[in-house]
Amino acid sequence: MKHKTLILLAGAALMCACQPLQRQTVISGTLEGVESDTLIVRHFAIGDLMRADMQTDTVVLQNGRFSLAIANDSTPTEAYFYAKPRGKANLTGLTRSVAVVAYPGETTEVSGSMEDYRTAGNAFQQALQAVNNLCKPYRQQMDSISALMVSKQQAGAPMDTIRTIYEQAYSPLRDKMEQVQADYARQHTDEDIAVYLTAQLDREQGEALLPLLGDNAKQGAMSSLYQALIEAVNKQKAREEAQKSVVEGSQAPDFTLKDLKGNDLALSSLRGKYVVLDFWGSWCGWCIKGIPDMKKYYDKYKDRMEILGIDCRDTEQKWRDAVEKHQLPWLHVRNAGTPDVSVMYGIQGYPTKIVVDPEGKIAKIVIGEDPAFYEYLDGLFAKK
């Protein structure tokens, strides 16, 4: 970091108490054939696997040329550039993107088109470009198959037909491409690129690669990503272990988290009535889609049950904004990771609803936005 410590002005020595200057990460370049004057950019720190703190910006595209500066002083930034359809503010449906990994304090240059682009810069960029060149034939075939599946879906083809295309044509190509990435990582285990590629692989291959990474890779620019991968592996193992004991009929693990007012709220404090633990997030489309039914059933049975919303993978502000936006009337706590209640309960999908009976035992577990949950509540309280 740069510090201004002493400035001589008009012959007098003056002390200047300035804040450290933050370096800028710059991504610039030229994209051909883009029928838009604006790029939508989603970017986040490389170690943010859940993209919980992802930011969205817009960049002017003038004669194909663009430039984006991001204040970033410590870790690389991963950014995805999308061409914004003219006259549309909605980002839904944007799929074609230019993916860039940019280092703090450096400039990364992009050239080509949305379909076929290249990045230039430091040693990592050169390695990433080499990998992309190796993967290009597979990506092109996968893009063609994706287009075929979309066209068949739009034409009303049965889901079994689309699933067969995916399993027989798309999935094998993806597996071959991942093998290319894994092989490259194994040949460059002491470089930043190996950590980045490990994060792109499926769980089995990724876990196999982690112990092979060298100290330069683990402690270099991608150190935050490496630590996030280690944490993710450990959490997944803990989830799988928790699933063995968090079953219907077992005692619900107690926990204490902060509510919307910043006060401690313990699950055990709700003993005496049925409690629905609702594991959700503002980013979860199915969680949001299920809110109207959740409200309906909360209003129907709130004299006999409580809902405790457990927010997962959100920033505090996104959590608070979502509760306010959707006017959720039940209790809420934020799962900030100390303890991580989603791991404690072995949560693998969102939303997950766990019904805890008045004695503190797990009565029902429902994964996904499933009508079976509401049918269960009707059957449960119809007996009362």
**Looking at residue 67, which CATH number applies to its domain?**
2.60.40.1120
Single out the residue in 241, 265, 284 at which a domain terminates. Answer: 241
Task: Provide the residue-wise pLDDT of the chain in tens; the chain has 384 residues.
Answer: 334 332 323 333 333 334 444 567 999 999 999 988 999 999 999 999 988 888 999 999 999 999 999 887 789 999 999 998 865 544 544 567 899 999 999 999 999 999 899 999 999 999 999 999 999 999 999 999 999 999 998 999 998 999 999 999 999 999 999 999 999 999 999 999 999 999 999 999 999 999 999 999 999 999 999 999 999 999 999 999 999 999 999 999 999 999 999 999 999 999 999 999 999 999 999 999 999 999 999 999 999 999 999 999 898 999 999 999 999 999 999 998 778 999 999 999 999 999 999 999 999 999 999 999 999 999 999 865
- Residue 337: give its domain's CATH number: 3.40.30.10
Domain count, the chain: 3
Name residue 164's beta-bridge partners. none
Q: How many CA atoms lie within 13 A of 74 on its CB side?
A: 7
For 295-309, what is each residue's pLDDT tens digit?
999 999 999 999 999
Assess if residue 308 is contained within a domain.
yes
Single out the residue in 201, 217, 241 at which a domain terminates. Answer: 241
Same domain for 214 and 177: yes
Same domain for 101 and 146: no
Assess if residue 2 is contained within a domain.
no
Same domain for 233 and 134: yes
Query: pTM for the complete prediction?
Result: 0.80
Same domain for 235 and 128: yes
Assess if residue 85 is contained within a domain.
yes
Same domain for 203 and 150: yes
> Nearest 5°: phi and psi at 322?
-65, -40
Assess if residue 5 is contained within a domain.
no
* 84, 67 contact by CB (below 8 A): no
Same domain for 130 and 99: no
* pLDDT for 88: 52
Q: How many other CB atoms sit within 10 Å of the CB of residue 374?
A: 18
Assess if residue 290 is contained within a domain.
yes
Q: How many other CB atoms sit within 10 Å of the CB of residue 209?
A: 21
Same domain for 155 and 74: no
Signed CA dihedral, 108, 111, 114, 117: sign only: negative
The CA distance from 151 to 161, in Å, is 12
Same domain for 229 and 287: no
Same domain for 302 and 214: no
* pLDDT for 87: 58
Assess if residue 139 is contained within a domain.
yes
Query: What is the domain extent for residue 87?
Result: 24-117
Single out the residue in 209, 241, 273 at which a domain terminates. Answer: 241
Same domain for 284 and 199: no
Same domain for 378 and 271: yes
Assess if residue 30 is contained within a domain.
yes
Assess if residue 250 is contained within a domain.
no
Same domain for 175 and 157: yes
